[in-house]
Structures are given as structure tokens and as C-alpha cells.
Amino acid sequence: MEDFKSIFFDLFLLFLFVLLNALFVAAEFALVKVRKTQLLPEEISKNGKAKLALRLITNLDQSLAATQFGITISSLGLGWIGEPVTARILEPLFQWLSIDNPKTIHTISLSVGFVLITFLHIIIGELAPKSLAIRHPKQTTLFIAWPLNIFYLIFKLPIIVLNAAANKILKIVGIEPVSEFERSHSEEEIRMLISEGTKSGEIDETEQAIIQKVFGFNDKTAEDVMIPRNKMFSIDIEDNRDKIIERLIDEGYSRVPVYKDTIDNIIGIIYSKDIISAAEHKEVIVLQDIIRPVHFIPETKHIGEILKDFQKNNIHLGIVVNEHGGVEGLITLEDIIEEIFGEIEDEYDTETDGKNIKADRKGIYLLNPNITIEEFNKLLNADIPVDPDEYQTLSGFLQKVTGHVPDIYERIDYKGLVMTIMQKSGIKLLQVKVQKLKNY
């Protein structure tokens, strides 16, 4: 009976050390895997385990030292009792086989004990808790918070001493230890995580596209996003009332730059609503009275900074200038937002039934260059020759008439059609703006 109790106690110690090893392994992987953001603020304020877990994560260097100390103690304990426990368990077998040679008994017990302890240690003490912690880092961290904190308080002195000694060795070999493990993701890592999330279905493609655009957002400057100078709509301050109103109605813009003598001398911005209001009340329109201050933007300024300026000063439009003060173009709040969310149609834009075809109220079309010539002629009432042997699409036609792949913003005039390349990737045309002149 005493032998049975002794064997039972030894087995209890054996499995206790295995479970302790599993606890510390799970704690180590969970603390490395979990993030502060997973412990929600309301959970931190109401849950004692969450508060302890947050403390462990914040002091990660010491926490990991505690888990390593615990794993070492558990492993040493397993090695210490492994062979004696195996010998006690196998003792009846040795007696039945009439094996009484101490050296033989020790060799067999050591071999069997090594296999048994290794199996328990690797499967139950290492692999299983590691997989559990990686799969459920938050729940595992909350579970181990109290026991690991108590263990750390009990063995605080040796843990601090051993960790300090390890840091000292690192300094000797030229490596500067850190007091807190830095775990922020790099931009490239976040991009990869988003890509994996999209593949798994957790993030849809629209969300992925928006997030990816955010990362490259501040890499772009005003020069990259602006409407170029030759595409700007502006008003000469010397223009008469009727001409101004007619042009505003034709163009449909809500804010328009005003210049004097030359486009390089922008003196302000006028709001269409101010002119329309004055006209409705039959007032004499004096641009100087309704002109608003203009906001100038260096062409090298990043659009993230421009957006902050727009938000801070309640600005919707700015004039982009070069280092010499010359006007290069204009940039609007909508232009900046479109860099993240894509093309935004305003109240003047309409979409035709054709795929990838958009038209504004002035009859200016944004077309997919892959539209067939037949569809193009029908849409714009044009008469581009159909020549299947030479080209079949608008893209092919433009390359035929120019003799090369048109460049971005290159303008091609053909029989009353003004075609401008708006988007291009490599040698592939992506979007063409087409306007049919009124006289044709």
C-alpha cells in the first residue's frame, strides 16, 4: 500500500511538472502573440484579469523572463523525477522477469523514462500549449494572468537577477537590450496582413483597396494630384457679367479661380452661388466685392499635409504653384479624397448604360479605351472609320492616328473630337476623356 501511494505521488509530481511546463509555454507564446488592442478598454476597466494581462504585456521583457524561468524549473523537475518514477513503475515487471541487476534496471529505467518524459514534455508540455496560445492568444493571456503574476512575485529576485545577467552578456557582445519589446507592425507587414485577410474573406476587396491606397496617400504631392494648368477653368476679372454667368453655367463648377491679365496672376476665388445670387437680385456684379482669398500650395507639398490645411482652414480649393511662383494647376478637396476612395461623381455627372462609360452634363465622356469603334461612333454620333484589319477599339485607333502609344494627358484632335489620355499603366491606356466640339 505504501509503495502504491509512493508511486501515485511520484506520478502526480511528474504530471504536475508537465502541466506547469505547459502553462509557462502557453504564457510565453500568448504574451508574444496578443496585442494591447485586443484587451478592449471596457474590459480593462471591469476585468481584474485583463488589468493583470495588460501589466504583463506592458512589462513584456520581465514577463518573458518569468516564463523562461518557469519552463527551466519545470524541465529540471521532470528530469529529476523521471528516471526514479519510471523505475518504481517498472519494478513489478523487473521482479516478474527476474531482473535484479542494478545496472540493468538503471539502464532500462533510464531509457524508458527518457522516451516517456520526452513524449509527455513535447506533446503535452510544448506543442499542445503552443498551438492553443497561438490560436487563442487573448483567452490564454487572460487565463495565465493570475498564476504568472503570482509566480513572478514569488521568484521576482532571481528572475530580475538572471534577466539582468542576460542583458549584461548582450551588452558585452555589442547588442543593446531593450526594456520593452517593440511589436508594432511595419507598413509592409500590414499590407501582407490585409492581403491575407482578403484571401480568407475577412476583408472584402473594396476595403482592401481603400486601405492600400491609404498607405501610399502621403507619398503623393500636389503635383501628382492636381488638375494641370492647361485643364484649369478660370475667369478673367475683366470679363463682363453675361460672359461670366454663361461660362459658369456651362462648366458647372462651384468654385472658380479669378486672374488678372494672366493665369499666373491668380488674385482670388469666386463662388458660383455668390454670382448667381447677385444675378437673381439684379445686382451689378463686381467681382472685387465677392472675390475670396486664394490659398496657394507648393507643388512639392504632400497631399496629407494639404488635407490637414484644408480641414483646418475650411478650404475646398487651392492653387498649385512652382518654386518661381508660376501657376501649375489647382487641387480640390475632392481630388484628394479620390486618391483614397476613387472617382467621385458630383451632381453634374451622369453614367451611361455602357460599361465603364461616364459623362458629365457638358457632354464630356470618360471612356474605357477598350470600347469598340462601333460603340464609340454610336455613343458620340461620330464617324471614326471602322477598319478591323488595323484596329477594333478606341485604344487601337488612337495609337494608329498618333503613330505611338499616347502619353498621359496627351491630346488628340480628330474631326471635332478632343480626346485626352487621363489614365495609363505602362503602355496600356486605362481612361480617355472625350469631348465633342459644338460646331461638329
- What is the Cα–Cα distance from 315 to 332, expressed in whole angstroms? 9
The most confident of the ranges 106-110, 158-162, 275-279 is 158-162
Joined together, the cell numbers standing for residue 58 give 506592458
Residue 1 has pLDDT above 70, yes or no: no
Joined together, the cell numbers standing for residue 371 give 470600347
Left if phi > 0, otherwise alpha if psi is -120 to 50, otherwise beta: which for 58?
alpha
- What is the Cα–Cα distance from 37 to 209, expressed in whole angstroms? 24
Residue 287 has pLDDT above 50, yes or no: yes
The most confident of the ranges 37-41, 63-67, 252-256 is 63-67
Q: Which residues contact 199 (CB under 8 A, 6 or more apart)?
A: none
105, exposed or middle or buried, with CB in 10 Å at 0-12, 13-18, 19+? middle
- Strands 235-236 and 255-260, by their bridges, are parallel
pLDDT at 172: 87
- Give the distance, in angstroms, between the CA of residue 273 and the centroid of all CA atoms in the same chain: 39
CATH class held by domain 349-436: alpha beta
pLDDT at 355: 47
What does the angle CA 252 – CA 221 – CA 367 come to, to the nearest 5 degrees?
Answer: 45
Q: Which residues contact 95 (CB under 8 A, 6 or more apart)?
A: none
At 30, the pLDDT band (50, 70, 90 cuts) reads very high
Candidate from 54-63, 66-75, 234-243 with smallest mean pLDDT: 234-243
**Short-list 299, 318, 330, CA closest to 233:** 330
At 189, the pLDDT band (50, 70, 90 cuts) reads confident
Question: How is the chain split into domains, by residue range?
Answer: 2-172, 187-215, 221-341, 349-436
Candidate from 199-213, 267-281, 355-369 with smallest mean pLDDT: 355-369
How far, in Å, are 126, 189, 353, 383, 434 from residue 365 at the CA level? 65, 40, 13, 16, 5
Q: Return the half-sphere exposure (C-beta side, CA atoms, 13 A cut-off) of residue 333.
A: 14
Cα of first residue to Cα of last residue in the chain, in angstroms, is 112
How far, in Å, are 232, 235, 251, 413, 435 from residue 361 at the CA level? 18, 20, 9, 21, 11
Candidate from 48-57, 88-97, 171-180, 334-343 with smallest mean pLDDT: 88-97
Residue 52 has pLDDT above 60, yes or no: yes
The most confident of the ranges 203-217, 359-373, 411-425 is 411-425
pLDDT at 174: 80
pLDDT at 123: 93
Residue 348 has pLDDT above 80, yes or no: no
Left if phi > 0, otherwise alpha if psi is -120 to 50, otherwise beta: which for 252?
left
Average pLDDT over residues 133-150: 93
- What is the Cα–Cα distance from 380 to 376, expressed in whole angstroms? 6
pLDDT at 357: 58
pLDDT above 70 covers what percent of the chain?
A: 80
pLDDT at 211: 79
Among all chains, which residue has been given the C-alpha cell 523514462?
Answer: 113
Residue 149 has pLDDT above 50, yes or no: yes
Average pLDDT over residues 118-130: 90
Say which CATH architecture domain 221-341 belongs to.
Answer: Roll (3.10)
pLDDT at 361: 46
Residue 320 has pLDDT above 50, yes or no: yes
Q: What are phi and psi of 266, to 5 degrees?
A: -75, 125
- What is the Cα–Cα distance from 408 to 428, expressed in whole angstroms? 11
pLDDT at 105: 65
247, exposed or middle or buried, with CB in 10 Å at 0-12, 13-18, 19+? middle
Residue 404 has pLDDT above 80, yes or no: yes
Dihedral of alpha carbons 275, 277, 279, 281, sign: negative
pLDDT at 306: 93
- What is the Cα–Cα distance from 163 to 61, expressed in whole angstroms? 9
pLDDT at 188: 74
Q: Provide the 8-state DSSP code for 393.
A: B
At 350, the pLDDT band (50, 70, 90 cuts) reads very low
Query: Which residues make beta-bridge pairs with 425?
Result: 428
Residue 335 has pLDDT above 50, yes or no: yes
Residue 7 has pLDDT above 90, yes or no: no
pLDDT at 141: 92
Q: Provide the 8-state DSSP code for 361.
A: T
Residue 70 has pLDDT above 60, yes or no: yes
Max distance between CA atoms of the chain, in angstroms, equals: 123
Candidate from 78-82, 93-97, 381-385 with smallest mean pLDDT: 93-97
pLDDT at 358: 58
**Short-list 413, 430, 418, CA closest to 343:** 430
Task: Spell out the alpha helix ranges (H) of 59-186.
Answer: 60-96, 102-119, 128-135, 137-154, 156-172
**Short-list 324, 261, 317, 273, CA closest to 294:** 317
The per-residue pLDDT for range 227-258, each reduced to its tens digit, is: 888 878 888 888 776 777 777 766 667 888 99
Candidate from 92-96, 231-235, 250-254, 291-295 with smallest mean pLDDT: 92-96
Length in residues, the chain: 440
Q: Map residue 135 onto helix, strand or coil.
A: helix
